[in-house]
Amino acid sequence: MQIAKRRKASLTICSTAFETLGRTQAKALGHPELPLAIIAHPFGIRTRNEVRAMAERCVEDIVRLATKKT
């Protein structure tokens, strides 16, 4: 895939309900080491403040994963 050739930081964001599918798809597409930022599922039962806190934690994961040296 072009990700490595272009030397772009890449990752996928998914909820816990889709983590296995995300890892399976990454592997099938030739990128078994593609980082995943995982957020808790479900969202619908959470308050606005809870979702905001989840998003803030996810942003921290995204920054960590996107800037990680490979």
Q: What is the pLDDT of residues 6-63, one digit of tens each?
A: 666 688 999 999 999 999 999 999 989 899 999 999 988 999 999 999 999 999 999 9
User: Residue 44: its pLDDT value, please?
Assistant: 87
Residues 6+ apart with CB under 8 A from 24: none
Residue 44 has what DSSP assignment?
T
CB 20 within 8 A of CB 26: no
Number of domains present in the structure of the chain: 1
This prediction has a pTM of: 0.73
- Structural domain including 30 reads 2-67
Per-residue tokens: 33: 């080491």
User: Residue 1: its pLDDT value, please?
Assistant: 38
Residues 6+ apart with CB under 8 A from 38: 14, 15, 16, 19, 61
User: Residue 68: its pLDDT value, please?
Assistant: 81
